[in-house]
Structure 1
Amino acid sequence: MYLLGLSALALAAVWLAVRITPLQTVSAGGQTVRVGAASLEWSLSGPGQLDLFGQSIPTRPHFDGPIRPRLELTRIHADAEVARLLRSGDHERLTLEVGRKLAAGWLRYGAWETAVAAGLVLLPLAAWTGLRRMPPGRTVLVLAGGVALVAAINAVGFYLLASDTPQTLREVRSLEDLVGAGPLSPVPRAEGPPLGDVRVVALGDSTAAGTGNGPLPDPTALDKACRRSADSYPLALAGANDWRVLNLACSGATIREGLLGVQILGDQVAPPQLAQAQRATQASVVTVSVGANDVRWADLVRLCAAAPSCDDRASTAFFQNRLTRFALAYRRLLRHLAALPQRPAVLVNEYYDPFGPDVDCLRQEGLTQQKVRVLRSRLAALNAVLRQGAETADFTSVRPDFTGHGLCSAQPYVQGTADRAPLHPTAAGALAIALADQQALPTKAQ
């Protein structure tokens, strides 16, 4: 009976120690990751866990044992050496130490967890032996037995069942190896002379392009294909500061097809926005508006309007899958932005709430208060990823304020369902976003 109780106490101590032991910090390749253990699983094999901007992502490699690694990205910061290696393509040196440091972090965590578990066992055993007024010799034996049992359980969990974990982590050259994406490769600068007089570069989707508002005075074929407007917030921000802006935003752009890769627009091909941005060698500000197309926000709104409810399992699972994929692509974008040689101030714009408290005018479109609450919660989840990612990269996240100017208000900042670009900012909405960006600019960039 005594041995059974001691075993239960030891198992509980290990379970609690895994939950409370501080994760170990590892820095390599311009990133800082905290390494620890995921919550205990009762299966003998399974994936680890990567925490990325609030999203919990299972790793591609599987690990033996109930105690599996958990990695949490806490910082993206390309110092001068990392930026130089990225530009030169020398990825071997950049990633050489990643796996070794991850494995070392895991082993440090295992040692700390064992010590914490031993302490959690010693406290109740010491109290119990004291209450029983055991003689010193027997007290020492009881305490030593508890510590030995905890050490044995941890030896099974960390060193026998999970014996391959350090080696698996040593083979990880980058976080992409954990989740299945390709390694970070540079986006070469687009051909053309440097644009030395450009102060602001705008990257993003139709929100930044100003889609649906007044046309540009002399648009190029690509401007028309991207549906860029004279009433976009990048142009409003530039006008307020007498800056020249390079607005590369394009309707329909995602991170993979638009910002980091080419975007096909009928008979037009938009080069990667980041490639074009690198021509602005003296730019001090980069604004980013991205994410809605990555999670297919417009499709989610249309489906929500047509369906009896918006929070069914299928649509929820679809959104969560798209959000996880976006978080992975967003991390790649942040690393590229952190490596820009001119070190511009980067403003990541969150999305505004287009609905507001009054949605009566949307009932005929199939959107009720309950449905809008679901859509608003999903928009909040997207914004949380944008905000946490920006903070991880030491960038600034900006949340425009459309309070009192939702779709059904007297002076909406959002285009209506019958307008050319429903739910997109009006010219007044673009000004509100530009004002939020202006207020968020660091003093050195103004």
Structure 2
Amino acid sequence: MVVTRERAHPRAARPGRTRALVRELRTWPTLLLLAICVLAGIPLTIALTPDQDLQILGQHIAVGARAPDLSVEGPARLVQIGNTQLDIPRLQVVGPLRPQIVMGPVQRNDAAAKALDPARSSEATGQAVDQLRTGFVNWYLLGTLGVVGTALAAAALVGCLRVLGILRREKASEHVTVADVWHRCSGTIGRMALLAVTVSLVAWGACGALAYTGTMRGLAQVRSLSDLVGGTKVTPAPVGPAVFGFEGAVIGDSRAARVGGPPVANPQGDDVACQRSADSLAAELATMVPGAVRNLACPSATIAQGLRGPQQRGSADDPVQVPAQVALLKQMQGLKFVVVAIGPNDVGWSDLIRYCYGVPTCDDNLTRGEFDYRMGAFDQDYAALLADLAELPDKPQVIVMTSYDAFPPNTDPACPDARGPAYAVGLTQDKIDLLTDRNDQLNAVLRTGAQKYGFTVAEPQLRLLCSPGSDGMGPDLQGLATPFAFHPTAIGSLRMAATVARVVDPEDG
């Protein structure tokens, strides 16, 4: 007797597989897995995929994606030197995948000159757009691998949880082993993994298509290099004749000028108009390093009006125009180091702290938006300042000083400087934490920009207002009872100078 066995044709199994996938798609563990892959896996991939480094027009540019947020549509982002991000309004993208362009320090070379040549700028801009497109596509393909890996990892995790759940339900049976459960669930886990990868790739493809469409639509409007990366101001020109005899110089605001201190004995130039003290940062620093140190700092100075542009001082009846501090720096010959103290005036620090003293809470969205706006403007101005300092004739060591906090953590609200005047609400711990956080954001910008250019960072450690105990040397900061609250005292200026002196290069300083 001949026994015949029917062999299932491969095509006959396909409908069964499809039905199994559809059934699996309706189970709550698989639905949970797909939600994890789409809602968490894709944002995680965007955040973790490394930027692609490019050389465009002689500049170092990295192409990637900005961190996802909850908005449906948003602009691409430009980070000029790794600092506060600036939106690119021309590149509006729907979905979570929004390009980000990171520019390094501006380089002056032949490739950059090509972009500025009217006869070749159109060709150079077109090549830059093509390179950006290629860089983003490469980043996207790398992210695709991340999407697949994330989906498989999530499927493995959920699959293990399903196996553990079955074992827990059937633990009363002595004949059920992990191998038995795994054999029973292996097909289910395989279908889960297939669905997770498929759905993740479909979602990732949709994100990529939306990002590509929005980016290309915006790039089609680019007609010049300034359209692509924005513009900047012309660097200040030197003012007056050459100046000799100084090893170092200090530029900055009232912290460096040391308002509230004794006036200099023999004032010169703008010493009186800028209220420079005999125990300023520059004066104290000159006692710690070889050679003379020139003080160019001036109260209320910002980068735009003070360092890179002239500043108005004096009264309305007797106005005084102080030349740009960078322009004065360019007069100086043989400089070995330059100290930079800037930032609080640019972001309106005095306005913020005054507001916090006067209202019950100062973390509202209005002031948050205003602070972010000022940080964005500061980022642009700071990038231009760093480029100016990098091009100083004698290539001095540039030392960027961070901004100190006003109050320590866990400040006693009964402290007079925290309580404020009788008519004020005063500072609570929440307000002090907010001020500290925003000062940290400012310092992050200062550090990142300095590091991008290879400049030195000095971080003064001062004894803050309302600090417990005493070291016997007096306060480092002037309190509210003084005309110049939150500015360094003579001791504070000395500590700041010591911090800078420790990082001055001995070969230069």
TM range (shorter): 0.7 to 0.9
Kindly tell me: are residues 157 and 395 of structure 1, through their superposed partners in 2, closer, same or farther at Cα, counting changes over 3 Å? same
Q: For 1:142 and 1:379, how far apart are their aligned partners in 2? A: 48
Match of 2:336 in 1: 284
Taking the aligned partners of 2:76 and 2:405, their CA distance within structure 1 comes to 35
Deviations 1:186-235 (A, max 9, x none): 41432323224322121111111122211122324632222222211112
Q: 1:217 aligns with which of 265, 281, 287?
A: 265
Report the alpha carbon displacement of residue 160 of structure 1 after superposing the two structures with TM.
Answer: 5.2
Does 2:212 align with 1:162? yes
Q: Tell me how far apart the structure 1 counterparts of residues 439 and 155 of structure 2 sit (CA, whole Å).
A: 50
Q: Does 1:198 align with 2:258?
A: no
Aligned to 1:321: 373
- Cα deviation code 1:322-348 (max 9, x no counterpart): 233323322222232233343221111
| Pairwise CA distance, 1:111 | 1.1
Identity of aligned residues (%): 28
Aligned residue for 1:21? Answer: 49
Q: Distance in 2 between matches of 1:83 and 1:437?
A: 37
Letter of the 1:19 partner, please give it: A
Judge conservation of contact 2:479–2:486 (CA < 8 Å) in 1.
yes
Alignment partner, residue 486 of structure 2 = 423
Deviation per CA, 1:286-310: give whole Å up to 9, x if none: 1111111112222222222222333
Q: 2:138 is aligned with what amino acid? A: R
d(CA) in 2 for partners of 1:24 and 1:420?
A: 52
Corresponding position: 1:433 with 2:506: no
Q: Is the 8 A contact 1:259 1:274 kept in 2?
A: yes
Cross-structure match for 2:15: none
Question: Residues of 1 paired with 2:153 and 2:186: CA distance?
Answer: 15
- Aligned to 2:262, what secondary structure does the other structure show? coil
Indicate whether 1:310 and 2:362 are aligned. Answer: yes
- Mapped to 1, the partners of 2:366 and 2:210 lie a distance apart of 40
CA apart distance, 1:50: 4.3
Q: Distance in 2 between matches of 1:42 and 1:374?
A: 25
Q: Distance in 2 between matches of 1:159 and 1:54?
A: 29
Q: Which residue of 1 aligns with 2:327?
A: 275
Per-residue deviation, residues 77-134 of structure 1 (Å, max 9, x unmatched): 4557389969x987987x8565444333211111111222234345667997986556
Deviations for 1:267-325, whole angstroms, at most 9, x for unmatched residues? 21122211221122421211111111112222222222222333344434433332333
Residue 399 of structure 1: how far off its partner (Å) = 1.6
Query: Any idea what SS the aligned residue of 1:193 has?
Result: coil
Q: 1:399 aligns with which of 453, 456, 459?
A: 459
Distance 1:209 1:338 in 2: 23
Q: Is the 8 A contact 2:99 2:136 kept in 1?
A: no
Cα deviation 1:3-46 (Å, max 9, x = unaligned): 67599376455444333322223345554435225426562x42
* Alignment CA distance shift 1:383-1:146 (3 Å): closer
Are residue 360 (structure 1) and residue 408 (structure 2) matched?
A: no
1:167 Cα deviation after fit: 6.0
Q: Quick one: structure 1 residues 344 and 361, their matched pair in 2 at CA, closer, same or farther if it must change by over 3 Å?
A: same
Alignment match, 2:136: 106
Distance 1:226 1:70 in 2: 45
Secondary structure, counterpart of 1:265 in structure 2: strand
Select which of 58, 66, 71 maps to 2:100. 71
Gaps of 5+ in 1: none
Q: Which amino acid aligns with 2:97?
A: R
Say which of 371, 375, 383 aligns to 2:443: 383
Residues 162-182 of structure 1, C-alpha deviations (whole Å, 9 max, x = no match) = 32414635849669856xxx5
Alpha-carbon separation, structure 2, partners of 1:98 and 1:284:
38
Aligned residue for 2:279? 231
Distance 1:82 1:434 in 2: 41
State the match for 1:59 in structure 2. 88
For residues 337-393 of structure 1, give each alpha carbon's deviation from its aligned partner in whole angstroms, at most 9, with x where no partner exists.
233343221111112334455662323524445244443333333223222332233
CA distance in 1, matches of 2:277, 2:309: 22
Pick from 244, 249, 252 the counterpart of residue 300 of structure 2. Answer: 252
CA contact (8 A) 1:407 1:415 kept: no
Q: Secondary structure at the match of 2:50?
A: coil
Decide whether the 8 Å contact of 1:263 with 1:271 is kept in 2: yes
Partner of 2:5: none
Q: Which residue is 1:240 aligned to?
A: 288
Determine helix, strand or coil for the equivalent of 2:487. Answer: coil
Give the equivalent residue in structure 2 for 1:412. Answer: 475
Which position in structure 2 is the counterpart of 1:36?
65
Change (3 A) 1:206 1:61: same
Give ranges in structure 2 of 5+ residues lacking alignment.
1-21, 160-181
2:173 counterpart residue number: none
**Bigger CA radius of gyration:** 2
Give the conservation status (yes or no) of the 8 Å contact 1:33–1:72.
yes
Structure 2 residue aligned with 1:8: 34
Give the Å deviation of 1:76.
Answer: 3.9
Structure 1 length as normaliser, TM-score?
0.81
Alpha carbons of structure 1 residues 161 and 82: separation in structure 2 relative to 1, 3 Å: closer
TM-score when normalising by structure 2: 0.72
| One-letter amino acid matched to 1:360 | C
Distance of 1:434 and 1:176 partners within structure 2: 43
- CA apart distance, 1:146: 6.8
Counterpart Cα distance in 2 of 1:42 and 1:400: 39
Cα distance, 1:56 vs. partner?
A: 4.7
Any conservation in 2 of the 1:248–1:273 contact (CA below 8 Å)? Answer: yes
- What is the identity, as a one-letter code, of the residue corresponding to 2:439? L
What corresponds to 2:508 in structure 1?
445
Which residue type is aligned with residue 206 of structure 1? S
Q: What code does the residue aligned with 2:329 have?
A: A
